[in-house]
Amino acid sequence: MKNRRSLLAVPYVGWMALFVIAPILIMVVYSFTTAAFDPTLANYTGMGTYTSIFLRSFQLALIATAICLLVGYPLAYVMAKEGPGFQRTATVLIMLPMWVNFLLRTYAWMAILENNGLLNQLFDLIGLFDLINGLFGTDIEFFRMIRTQGAVVLGMVYNYLPFMVLPIYSVIIKLDHSLLEAARDLGADTAGVFRRVILPLSLPGVLSGVTMVFVPSVSTFAISQLLGGGTHMLLGNLIELQFLGGAYNPHLGSAIAMVMMVIVIICMWIMNRFGEGEEQAVVL
Amino acid sequence: MRKSRRIGSRFFMGLVFLFLYAPILLMIVFSFNAGNSNVVWQGFSLRWYEELFQDRTILQSLYTTLLVSVLATAVATVAGTFAAVGFYSMRRRTRSVLMNVNNIPMMNADIVTGVSLCLLFVAVFGLWNEFAANYRITLNLFGSLYRITFPELSLGFGTMLIAHITFNIPYVILSVGPKLRQMDNNLVDAARDLGCTWMGAFFKVILPEIKPGIVSGALIAFTMSVDDFVISYFTAGSSVSTLAMEIYSMARRRVSPEINAVSTLLFVVVLVLLVVVNLREARAEKAAARRGA
Amino acid sequence: MKKVLALTLALAMVMTLALSGCSVEKVDGSGDGSFVSADGSTPSGSGAQTTGNRVVNVCSWGEYLDMSLIEEFEAQTGITVNYKTTDSNETLYSLLENGGSDFDVVVPSDYMISQLIEEDWLQPLDYSKIPNFEKIADRFKNLSYDPENLYTVPYTWGTLGIIYNTTMVDEPITSWETMFSDAYAGNVILIDNPRDAIGMALYYLGYSVNTTDEAQIREAAALVSDAWSSGVYQGKTMDGIFQIMEGGNAAIGTYYAGDYLTMLENNPDLAYVIPEEGSNWFVDAMCILKDAKNVDEAHEWINFIASTDANLRNMDYIWYASPNEEALEMYPAWYEEQYGEPLDPELYEIMAAPQEVLDRCEAYLVLPQEIRTLYNDLWIELGT
């Protein structure tokens, strides 16, 4: 019977073969050929030049994911404690900002974070700069927030936070309350209940969330262009440059994308192993 | 003690929502700007709203956006839910292989997905059109002869829809998956033992259990569709365009404040809908509670 | 389960019977009259193009056309315009290269036009169908990207220059040197595209912006890269420049004249200068793709857009100068009539740079593939 149910996935597996695997195969062909479609390895052998870009992209994505988790988990948790009406509203409110186009929101962030932007004007208004200048004898007129790596991380967190909150939230609200009560009856305090019961049980949601935040963060390009001011190139920019840049080299672009994908797959694989193990531990 | 914690958690929520909505508020304010800047305020005006309603391109692209997003979300939600249920009935090894394939569209840079889908469509359509130009079906239907020529295919709304469905399904599966993992499989067995068909068990037992996952998956899918531009760009051909595509191609010069206006309208409409739906449901729940008592 | 199987079988049998005459045949040209076409119309040969709606597919930049012109054209001719936009020459090229488009008319910039001509993407125009081509000023004809003027009708032209905030600099800027010196360190915005960014260093060093001498290009790139590492630049951006300059968040940036005029509306402190070493001047021109399906309609569209009236309205809407001699001369008077106030002659000169300024400037030519790759590589090095 269980096998019968797995037939439900057949249409999608066919779909994947057509629209996921086939395009990937095209990319693989591109990545191993030259512009004249002669076989070559050159696209891969030169990859070492971009090591620092790879490192930086993964590092920033990791930081953004960690912050999303630190903010998103408590948010999902307190949301799940609210009444059903509030919950419904909150769920949609979390996603709603994303229905406003990404570029518009990012422009708005620029206006907020600029040297002469809203936030700095606010600081000026409350006398923060006077205070600091008085205390430390410095002469600052604004905080440099835009066009830094911090702004890039902020952009990632802002854009992908909902993807962390929703899966965790949908797992937490379905937790079996009798389990929590049992734990409490057995003498666990609130922290203990959270650590021993809630956290392990909500792990599947966390794993989904981490995937959905980390993966798009690695390959983003517009965020680093606008909020990062192009000061530090990320993988997304590098790939975009190959497909939409003056040199137009989709073959190299495909190769970089392939390498990026393989690394991401390995990361996900390690994480999921860790997750599956946890799941078993919980069952035991 | 309890109350203070509640206030604390509400405060935390408020902060996060402030973070999420600050840029949107700014955008709404500047949609009423008399000037065309996003940073310099030149006085209140409804100018951009007036211009918006005369701008055929933007309205048309808004319509395209909503249509493709709704259709793609509907298809992706149904297909993704079925697929997730199927995946979670498989042996773990098969499942993890399929899940990894499933994750590929998410892992790939958008531009790579867009270009590779474009290459695929163009290649397939090229072969098909070659065939269509040279062959046709003749049909002997109860004595009369019909001739059907194959239609010529090109990139357009259909291919864009396929692309959107393709990048949406993984998000649905990722949202539904955790709920399935969390579900007690004995429930399904119990339902079967009590005489449910397997389809019946699916609708009566599994579906209610995973509903929150489906809802959030659909929400994410819709959002991804509305926001996407690169993939649409490469799969939409020359005759259709979405709002996001319009916005991005304006970026070389400047994004017209009409876009602020249309986004504000969209935002407000959704917000009002949300409030109405919530009030209704709250009222219904109250009524139900009263009846129950 | 058995029932389902039986039903399927029965259905299949009925289908086979009904469709017994079904076959796939090869089209041999003309069909004979005994056939009834499935859609009821008389059969026609392969690739039947129905004579219904006339369409033209146009691709240009976003916010680069007064949209009311489209409606006027549609009302006049009954041709539907599918107007699609991209954000750069490179995106357009990528769309063409991947087959992701079936445009009839495209409006690339000069260097991209010569690349498209070189790679055989364009078809020669039938200028007898474009009488308005006469009105294009002679100085915009037979330019280096299309020396015999077989493929193009110019759409707009303009210059690249330094935009600066007069309240944030000590004295007027005149040279590209400002872009590389410490004088305004941390207050300069670099343009985010390799050709323009390395180009301004080439002007500064006195080289041609179209040089294919690798050493010169590397020298120029080193200049940018040194300035980069010593903190001259606040960042690099293209479209972000509007917000940055309008909000007074940086003192100096590089962008196009037409866009400077848009920024000026929001920040009167901004000034524009074409540095003494010279700069880039560009032409965007309309072309028809080789495999365009609606060639007649495309010609009609080009002719309509090249008219004096369309050029006046377009110029007013996008602030980029028109190549139409008549429109260019009439514009100040037309502006006064429209807005009831005279056009500032200084602004007019910035939009439509006088010939002596253009003489200092150089248009981009297409570079050979290996030089384009070099530009790209140097640009990536800058970001690592």
Q: What is the 3-state secondary structure (H, E, C) of chain A?
A: CHHHHHHHHHHHHHHHHHHHHHHHHHHHHHHCECCCCCECCHHHHHHHHHHHHHHHHHHHHHHHHHHHHHHHHHHHHHHHHCCHHHHHHHHHHHHHHHHCCHHHHHHHHHHHHCCCCHHHHHHHHCCHHHHHHHHHCCCCCCCCCCCCHHHHHHHHHHHHHHHHHHHHHHHHCCCCHHHHHHHHHCCCCHHHHHHHHHHHHCHHHHHHHHHHHHHHHHHCCHHHHHCCCCCCCCHHHHHHHHHHCCCCCHHHHHHHHHHHHHHHHHHHHHHHHHHHHHHHHHHC
Q: Judge whether A263 is closer than 8 Å to chain B, CB to CB.
A: no
Q: Percent of chain C, pLDDT > 90?
A: 74
Residue of B nearest to C67 (CA): B55
Integer angstrom CA distances of residue C149 from B4, C122, C123, C285, C304: 78, 12, 12, 11, 19
Do the beta carbons of residue B239 and residue B156 sit within 8 Å? yes
Domain that holds residue A111: 51-274
pLDDT at C17: 47
Both tokens of C132, joined, read 């308005």
Percent of chain B with pLDDT over 90: 35
Nearest beta carbon to residue B278 from set A85, A94, A102:
A85
Confidence grade of residue B2 (pLDDT, cut at 50, 70, 90): low
Distance (Å, whole) CA C138 – CA B87: 68
Residue A39 pairs with which residues in a beta bridge? A33
Residue pLDDT, tens place only, B209-257 = 888 889 889 988 998 899 888 899 889 888 888 999 888 888 777 888 8
User: CA–CA separation, A253 vs B18, rounded Å?
Assistant: 38
User: pLDDT digits over A87-136, tens only?
Assistant: 878 888 888 888 888 888 988 999 999 998 999 999 999 989 989 888 88
For B222, name the nearest residue in chain A, comparing CA atoms only: A99
Query: What pLDDT is recorded for position C342?
Result: 93
- Work out the average pLDDT over A182-200: 84
Would you say residue B23 lies in a domain?
Answer: no
**Average pLDDT along chain A:** 87
Taking the C-alpha atoms of residue A32 and residue A188, their distance in angstroms, rounded to an integer, is 58
| Domain count within chain B | 1
C:92-151 residues touching chain A, CB 8 A cutoff: 93-94, 97
Q: Is B26 exposed, middle or buried (0-12, 13-18, 19+ CB in 10 A)?
A: buried
* pLDDT value for B167: 93
Per residue in C365-379, pLDDT (tens digit) is 889 989 999 998 999
Check residues B103 and A33 and name the one with the higher pLDDT: A33
Burial readout A83-110 (b: 16 or more C-beta within 10 A, e: otherwise): eeebbbbbbbbbbbbbbbbbbbbbbbbb
What pLDDT does residue C15 have?
Answer: 56
Contacts with C132 (C-beta within 8 Å, 6 or more apart), sequence order = C303, C304, C306, C307, C308, C324
* Fold designation for C160-281+360-383: D-Maltodextrin-Binding Protein; domain 2 (3.40.190)
| Backbone Cα Rg of chain A | 23
C-beta atoms of C24 and B154 within 8 A: no
The predicted structure's pLDDT at residue B5: 78
Position A280 confidence tier, pLDDT thresholds 50, 70, 90? very low
Q: Residue A259 domain-assigned?
A: yes
Does A21 reside within a domain?
A: no
Q: What is the Cα–Cα distance from A210 to A167, expressed in whole angstroms?
A: 10
Could you tell me the two tokens for B168? 């949406």
- Say yes or no to pLDDT of A282 above 70: no
Q: How many Å separate Cα A102 from the centre of its chain?
A: 15
Strand partners, B137: B148, C24
Domain boundaries, chain C: 36-157+282-355, 160-281+360-383
Q: Which of C95, C191, C294, C297 to mutate to test the interface with B (most CBs of B within 10 A)?
A: C95
CA dist., res. C333 & res. B163, Å (int): 51
pLDDT, average across residues C47-52: 46
CB A184 within 8 A of CB A255: no
* Candidate from B23, B79, B219 with C-beta closest to A12: B79
Alpha helices, DSSP H only, in C230-368?
241-246, 257-264, 295-305, 308-318, 325-339, 345-351, 355-360
Pairing mode, if any, of strands B144-149 and C36-37? parallel
Dihedral angle sign, alpha carbons of residues B214, B219, B222, B227 = negative
SS3 assignment, position C271: strand
- Hey, what CATH topology would domain C36-157+282-355 get? D-Maltodextrin-Binding Protein; domain 2 (3.40.190)
Q: Which residues contact C127 (CB under 8 A, 6 or more apart)?
A: C133
Contact status, residue B106 vs residue A215, Cβ threshold 8 Å = yes
**Distance, in angstroms, between B148 CA and closest chain A CA?**
27
pLDDT band at B23 (very low <50, low <70, confident <90, very high): very high
- Using the beta-carbon criterion (under 8 Å), do B135 and C26 form an inter-chain contact? yes
* DSSP labels, B110-168: HHHHHHHHHHHHHHHHHHHHHHHHHEEEEEEETTEEEEEEPPP--SSHHHHHHHHHHHH
What is the amino acid identity at position C249? N
CA atoms within 13 A on the CB side of C57: 15
pLDDT in tens, C245-268: 999 999 999 999 999 999 998 999
- For the beta carbon of residue C366, count every other beta carbon within 10 angstroms: 20
What residues have CB less than 8 Å from A223, skipping those under 6 apart? A106, A152, A155, A156, A159
Paired tokens of C254: 């590089």
**If we measure between CA atoms, which residue out of C308, C258, C264 comes closest to residue C281?**
C258
Instruction: Provide the number of structural domains found in chain A.
Output: 1
Q: Which of B40, B136, B252 sits opposite C88 (nearest CB)?
A: B252
A221 touches chain B (CB under 8 A): yes
Condensed to tens digits (0 to 9), the pLDDT of residues A205-247 reads: 898 899 889 988 998 888 888 899 888 889 999 998 898 887 7
- Residue of B55, B135, B249 lying closest to C86 (CB–CB): B249
Structure tokens at A20: 């996921």
A113 backbone φψ class: left, alpha, beta (φ>0; ψ -120 to 50) = alpha
Which residues of A, range 122-181, sit inside 8 Å of B by Cβ?
Answer: 158, 161-163, 166-167, 169-171, 173-174
> How far apart are the CA of B111 and the nearest CA of chain A, in angstroms?
7
What is the rounded average pLDDT for all residues in chain B?
87
- Total beta-carbon pairs less than 8 A apart between chain A and chain B: 271
Q: What's the CA gap between C196 and C282, in Å, rounded? A: 12
What is the CATH classification number for the domain harbouring A251?
1.10.3720.10
Supply the range of the domain harboring residue B125: 66-240
For residue A186, tell me if it sits in a domain. Answer: yes
Q: Vertex C260, ends C258 and C266: CA angle to 5°?
A: 125
Which 3 state secondary structure label does DSSP give C16? helix
Chain B, 64 to 103: residues with Cβ < 8 Å from chain A are 79-80, 82-87, 89-90, 92, 96, 98-103
User: Is residue B181 within 8 Å of residue B96, measured between CB atoms?
Assistant: no
Q: What is the per-residue pLDDT for C35? A: 44
What is the dihedral angle through the alpha carbons of C85, C91, C97, C102, rounded to the nearest 10 degrees?
A: -10
Mean pLDDT for C159-177 is 95
Which residue from C91, C99, C259 is facing B118, i.e. has the nearest CB? C99
Determine contact, residues A155/A106, Cβ cutoff 8 Å.
yes
The pLDDT of residue B129 is above 80: yes
Cα A263 to Cα A43, A275, C331: the distances in Å are: 17, 18, 58
pLDDT band at B196 (very low <50, low <70, confident <90, very high): confident
Report residue C15 CA to chain centroid gap.
54
Per mean pLDDT, which range of A272-276, B195-199, C15-19 is the poorest?
C15-19
Percent of chain B with pLDDT over 70: 99
- C246 and B40 in contact (C-beta within 8 Å)? yes
What's the CA gap between B271 and B267, in Å, rounded?
6
Domain assignment of residue B188, yes or no: yes
- For residue C31, what pLDDT is reported? 44
Statement: residue A2 has pLDDT above 80: no
pLDDT tier, A160 (very low <50, low <70, confident <90, very high otherwise): very high
How do residues C194-238 score in pLDDT, each as one tens digit? Answer: 999 999 999 999 999 999 999 999 999 999 999 999 999 999 988
Mean of the per-residue pLDDT values of chain C: 87
- pTM, to two decimals: 0.87
Q: What is the DSSP string of C23-50?
A: EEEE--SSPPTT-EETTSSPP--TT---
pLDDT digits (tens, 9 = 90+) for C3-23: 555 666 666 655 554 555 556
Residue whose token pair is 């000169």: C349
Nearest CA to CA, how far is A268 from chain C (Å)? Answer: 26
Distance CA A250, CA C98 (A): 10
Q: Which residue of C has its CA nearest to B258?
A: C63
User: How close does chain A come to C335, measured CA to CA in Å?
Assistant: 32
Torsional sign, CA B248, B257, C82, C67: negative
- The three-class DSSP label of residue C160 is strand
Is A137 a residue whose pLDDT tops 60? yes
Residue C48 pLDDT grade (very low, low, confident, very high; cuts 50, 70, 90): very low
Q: Which residues 112-171 of B are in CB contact (within 8 Å) with A?
A: 112-113, 115-117, 119-120, 123, 162-163, 165-166, 169, 171
Q: What whole-number distance in Å separates Cα of residue C267 and Cα of residue A237?
A: 31
CATH number of the domain to which B93 belongs: 1.10.3720.10
A279 in any annotated domain: no
Kindly report the length of chain A. Answer: 284
pLDDT tens, residue by residue, A54-69: 999 999 999 999 999 9
